[in-house]
Amino acid sequence: MADTARNPAPYTEADLSLIKRIIPHRYPFLLIDKVRDIVAFESAVGLKNVTANEPHFQGHFPAQPIMPGVTIVEAMAQTSAVVVGISLDVIDKPLLTYFMGIDNCKFRRMVVPGDVLELHCTVTRAGGKIWKFRGVAKVEGQVCAEADFTAMMDLKADG
């Protein structure tokens, strides 16, 4: 059972509807479809079903579509923002998340249409406005990308 002192909204999973209630991203920049295995203040796994219909594939690259690495890192950040939203119980509140730094970023495998991208995100520093995370993106158990990143969480008072 979740520790309700640290987990006021004990969700362990977020479908697309709940994700949209936590983070402001929308098509074409909403890069996660679901978040599972959510442990407030600790970790989660985001899921992205990669399809050929995504707009970045028109130019990256038409003859051999490859998901851009920066969008993989952004998907990790969006997964992490959902963890923060659940942890701080800010569902239906205007939480904005801003990248402050990306470190130790490496790309190890191409991500292509048809892949199911798993975004394993761990909180390495929680609390206050500044949070730090470790993200590892995988397809079928193979590491595609990894990065450490820092973000500032801004809860707007007036929406």
Q: Look at the alpha carbons of 140, 33, 83, 86 in this order and tell me if their dihedral is positive or negative.
A: negative
Structure token digits, residue 93: 């509140």
CB 121 within 8 A of CB 80: yes
Asked about 60 being catalytic, the answer comes back as yes
Phi and psi at residue 33, in whole multiples of 5°?
A: -105, -25
CA angle 59, 28, 9 (to 5 degrees): 140
The contacts of residue 73 (CB under 8 Å, 6+ apart) are 102, 105, 135, 145, 147, 149
The catalytic position among 25, 56, 60, 120 is: 60
The DSSP bridge pattern shows strands 130-139 and 142-155 to be: antiparallel
Which residues are catalytic, by number? 60
